[in-house]
Structure 1
């Protein structure tokens, strides 16, 4: 059973991750993780201390759990660029500070640290208005570039195919062909998928005004200290090959692309064909599972169909199951994940222990840690 520890500063509660119900748990590891959370309150998504929180929390957890693998996400520069009007100098300083935190983690932990960028940012030009369709358009807060389309009329198709802000409208069959799927794989794909041009984005329920967006990134940087990678789906296998010989960490820098990297890197494919990942669930899963999970996780699925009264995993966003085949699940040794990106640490990495901020629409509600495994002995590699 996976359990979650909710921390709202001076108040903590343990719940069953799948049901969300309160449980009693007092194992030594639960006490250890509670202590880590209490010592490191989250400062906020855009707070200048946000990325330092990742490093500090990870180092504290390493001292007490002794993992062989760590997955870190540094996202302050992504949220700040996306929602705050910054000067070029401010963005550069934020980028340098993010790299400095990764370097501090590597130096103080002794982990060989592989740095991965999720792709650069571009100015948000204008939203795309899909109201007035005879059919249904579905957009996710996790995606600005893709929207799902259902039940379109001939009039809708004429309007969309000539829309100046759309790069393309791809059918379910085209997506299946692009990713090598069969008819049985398309159940969670939209009937059509609208793809926005650079700088355009689909309106969602987000309450925040967008300043910048993830730029379409066919390739993203992976630091040159990881050999044998040509795609982000190669990272899992390449890292697993090194684990056991040395301790390794993956440090994900959100909102940074090839043009932002200050260390030598390999430009790796970030999707397939016209479909490139944004920082979100499908990109994380491509990295952590070594495969494309677009059929299950994409910007156009009607997630409201899963929003039932007793939805499993109520603290895990859209997810109703925990993905299998992750790097943390495959690695037999101890593992941790720490990041200032809500939900993705505990859902997509499969690590034994995940510590993450609990924030929604930039509102800081505290922290959450998830313990998936308590049975690995000390020194397990």
Structure 2
């Protein structure tokens, strides 16, 4: 917990580029939801609203007035998103302002989550772009008062944020952003994830070119690359990320079955080994699916909380509706379903094919499916 005292700048644990701060009961409830929809922000809220899962979810609690927390956030974060009244935020940040080239972006969200307002550093600090992306992510209305500000291209550090995409590394974000803004040749290769990411009425800028494969993108010799994939790239493709960013869409579903009392560490080890064998990124896992008999399984619940994955359970009847390759009379005898991991993964992913059929390792059974997304663009 962060203890706030006058005259002291608190020590915080920055993990992500943005900070999300709430100070009211309703604001905290919204903020916990927003943190799942927009995965680029560290969440901070007052200790009196503690719910018990903060350590697992890497939420930071503070004790004292939020005014004393803001100096530390100003120093370390690219942007600060406040679920606090606009007037209060303006008064609290006024003593912290330096100039528009150094100040972080500041946004304000009302307590009901209806509006996202760009408050500070709209252009250079990126508050206007962040306002639009964050509002899209949470389903709110963006409020940008800079008359000349019009989003013309892809905000590299927020690309796909409304869908929960995350990037592998922030190392090249600045240089790739420069290539996008300076209208250099930027290759976009998409192998997974939502396809409707261009949400503006005007055409995409001509310097952004979509290629159907990494091979064609490499041959085109772009000056920068946006690669959207759930797989681990091969050595010959690394030329694309010399000035490129890999985005991880939430496209993978893990169907999991396990014996009662299986520890979280064993389940996670099987997941890690399986994804490595399939050359898939753990950052692209969207959900764990299983039978409703496992809805209170501690190991599974701890794993879900640790990674902020979705968790869905199905009745035996729902699982038996799914056609799959390896039905088991033994599993039916104990659960009423002819399978768990395979039909659960297929049902959640809304697909007929598995990337991995049933694999048993120790106390864990795992299957992997890929979510199908509608075509866009």
User: TM-score range, shorter-chain basis?
Assistant: under 0.3
* TM-score (norm: length of structure 2): 0.23
- Return the structure number with greater helix share: 2
Relative contact order: is structure 1 or structure 2 higher (C-alpha 8 Å, sep ≥ 6)?
A: 1
Structure number with greater Rg is 2
